Structure 1
Amino acid sequence: MLRTVDRVLLGLLGLVLLIAGGSVLAIGLGVRPPSWWPYEDQHDVLLSAARRTRWRDEGWWWPVVIAALAVAVLLALWWLSAVLRRRRLAEVLVDTGDGEGAVVRGRALESVLVTEAEAMDGVDRAEVRLVGRRGEPGARVRLVLEPHGVPRDAVRRLHGEVLAGARTSSGSARWPSTVRIRAVKHPPERVT
């Protein structure tokens, strides 16, 4: 969802900046603007002296300008941090038992965990996403259970077998995980 909003906002902002910059550049190069455009020729200024100094002597003007710019900077920083933050763990540090360590790709470990989770009785599909840090990974798991699957048994086996194996192989003392379960939806069948 955030990726879609991000792309739409960037696209709109880019389009506005492209149109505004392109039109100012075109007018500066001597292209005749349309009649509705606020600037008529290449010698017009974007902001006249009267417009620039209109609110300067008002007591509220500068605090409002500074507050608006501060909010804009904070929103831009929040947006940048949301874009740069990784949603998935790229690699996991694994204890090899000889005092050294190895690095395992996050997607490979996710694939193994999905395969093991889907092999459990009563599980139709599974999705695993690694979260956390390299040395202290965790998992977000989504299980789709078959009609005969029991949620309590699936969670117990997931924690006791699948995630316990990942915890042991990574050498982590804990492996925090979130499990979401839903039942598989089958199309209705006509009974005769």
Structure 2
Amino acid sequence: MWNRVWLALTGLVLLVAGGTTLAGGLGAFGPDRPVVTGAMSQKMAENPWFWPAVAACALTVAVLGTGWLAAQWRSRTLRRLAMGDARAGATRMAARVATRAISADVTSYPGVRRVRTRLSGSARRPSVRVRVMCDAEVDLGELAWRIRDDAMVRLRTTLNREDLGGVVDFRMKREIPAWERRVV
């Protein structure tokens, strides 16, 4: 939530600054009004540290902004997962064991070609993401039902984690008939 608030505030500040600059450039504050007055220009020239300080501030803002943007793309992948309640000192296991189990279940379903799974979130609120590559002829409703009511239930039962949520992404693979294939 705080991330969205800071993002909105930053966007608002940048929007106001950009709008003010654009309005000034178009002459909204008076014709031929200089951005830097003569007295200000004199002060800048007298202090040799001024422009390096401006550059350092701009570089700091750019680095912080880039780091913040990179943090938005990064999602935390769980390496270890608690079986049962994480606060009650539950047994921990490698997350790849759980992802391999659900991948094996889903891969055994008809029409499924490949499955990739990943556990993310926190130890208290884990989430599984399942990416399924399947044939174009597969009934997605039935496949989604089987994943939700069979594979996910089995995983929750095995891990003793009723709070384990998930997202399933489907990718369709269409076989191209021989007469449609072309070599370019």
What TM-score bracket applies, with the shorter chain setting the length?
0.5 to 0.7
What SS does structure 1 have at the residue aligned with 2:162?
coil
How far apart in 2 are the matches of 1:66 and 1:146? 55
**Equivalent residue for 1:117?**
106
**Equivalent residue for 2:57?**
67
Deviation at 1:110, TM superposition (A): 1.0
Is 1:55–1:61's contact at 8 Å kept on the other side of the alignment? Answer: no
Structure 1 or 2: more helix by fraction: 2
How far apart in 2 are the matches of 1:71 and 1:100? 42
One-letter identity of the residue aligned with 2:129: R
What SS does structure 2 have at the residue aligned with 1:92?
strand
**Equivalent residue for 2:23?**
none
How far apart in 1 are the matches of 2:105 and 2:146? 10
Structure 1, gaps ≥5 residues long: 1-53
Q: 1:95-143: CA deviations, max 9, x gaps?
A: 29xx752111111211111100111223222111111112322111111
Which of 182-191 and 149-158 deviates more?
Answer: 182-191
Deviation at 1:176, TM superposition (A): 2.2
**Equivalent residue for 1:105?**
94
Matches within 5 A, 1:1-150: 55=45, 57=47, 61=51, 64-65=54-55, 67-75=57-65, 77-78=67-68, 81=71, 87-95=76-84, 101-150=90-139
**How large is the Cα RMSD of the aligned pairs?**
3.4
1:184 aligns to 2:169 (yes or no): no
**Equivalent residue for 2:7?**
none
How many matched pairs?
A: 135
How far apart in 1 are the matches of 2:65 and 2:121? 25
Structure 2, gaps ≥5 residues long: 1-43
What SS does structure 2 have at the residue aligned with 1:157?
helix
How far apart in 1 are the matches of 2:126 and 2:80? 9
Is 2:84–2:91's contact at 8 Å kept on the other side of the alignment? Answer: yes
- For normalisation by structure 1, the TM-score amounts to 0.57
